[in-house]
Amino acid sequence: MNAPARRAQAWAAIGEVTDPELDQSVTELGFITEFEVDAIRGDVSVAYRLPTYWCAANFAFMMGNDMAERLGELAWTQHVSVRLLDHFYADEINRGLADNASFQDTCGHEASGGLTELRATFRYKAFMSRQERLMGWLLAHGVSRETLVAWTVADLAAYTLTDARGLHLRERYLAMRRSHTPGDFSGQGYRGDGREIAFVTAAGKAIAADDLDAHRRHIQSIRMNSEFNATLCSRVLAVRQREVASTDSAAGQALAR
Phi-psi region of 27 (alpha: psi -120 to 50; beta: other; left: phi over 0): alpha
Q: How many domains does the chain have?
A: 2
Q: Is 229 exposed, middle or buried (0-12, 13-18, 19+ CB in 10 A)?
A: middle
- Does one domain contain both 209 and 151? yes
Q: Identify whether 141 is part of a domain.
A: yes
Q: Identify whether 81 is part of a domain.
A: yes
User: For residue range 154-173, what is the model confidence (pLDDT) as tens digits?
Assistant: 999 999 999 999 999 999 99
Q: Are 173 and 131 in contact (CB under 8 A)?
A: yes
- Does one domain contain both 106 and 7? yes
Could you tell me the residue range of the domain that residue 160 belongs to?
Answer: 117-222
Query: Average pLDDT, whole number, for the chain?
Result: 87
More confident position, 135 or 246: 135
Confidence category of residue 192, pLDDT binned at 50, 70, 90: low
The reported pLDDT for the residue numbered 236 is 80
Amino acid at 174: L
- Does one domain contain both 7 and 110? yes
pLDDT at position 231 over 80? no
32 pairs with which residues across the strands? 48
- Does one domain contain both 110 and 121? no
Q: Look at residues 61, 89, 114 and tell me which one is the last residue of a structural domain.
A: 114
- Does one domain contain both 192 and 138? yes
Report the pLDDT averaged over residues 200-212.
90
Give this prediction's pTM: 0.79
Contacts of 79 (CB under 8 A, 6+ apart): 41, 42, 43, 44
Confidence category of residue 189, pLDDT binned at 50, 70, 90: low
- Does one domain contain both 102 and 132? no
- Does one domain contain both 108 and 124? no
The reported pLDDT for the residue numbered 205 is 87
Q: Are 60 and 89 in contact (CB under 8 A)?
A: yes
Q: Identify whether 41 is part of a domain.
A: yes
- Label each residue of 157-172 as H, E or C: HHCCCCCHHHHHHHHH
- Does one domain contain both 108 and 141? no
Comparing C-alpha atoms, which of 45, 48, 39, 44 is closest to residue 17?
Answer: 48
- Does one domain contain both 45 and 145? no
Stretch (H or E) spanning 38: strand 32-38
Q: What is the largest CA-CA distance in the chain?
A: 72
Report the pLDDT averaged over residues 64-87.
96
Q: Identify whether 149 is part of a domain.
A: yes
The reported pLDDT for the residue numbered 93 is 95
- Does one domain contain both 80 and 125? no
Q: Identify whether 104 is part of a domain.
A: yes
- Does one domain contain both 101 and 142? no
Tell me the CATH number at 63.
3.30.300.130
Q: Identify whether 181 is part of a domain.
A: yes
User: For residue range 87-122, what is the model confidence (pLDDT) as tens digits?
Assistant: 999 999 999 999 999 988 887 655 566 688 888 888
Q: Identify whether 152 is part of a domain.
A: yes
Q: Look at residues 114, 146, 181 and tell me which one is the last residue of a structural domain.
A: 114
Amino acid at 14: I
Q: Identify whether 232 is part of a domain.
A: no
- Does one domain contain both 8 and 106? yes
| Alpha carbon distance 8, 13 (integer Å) | 9
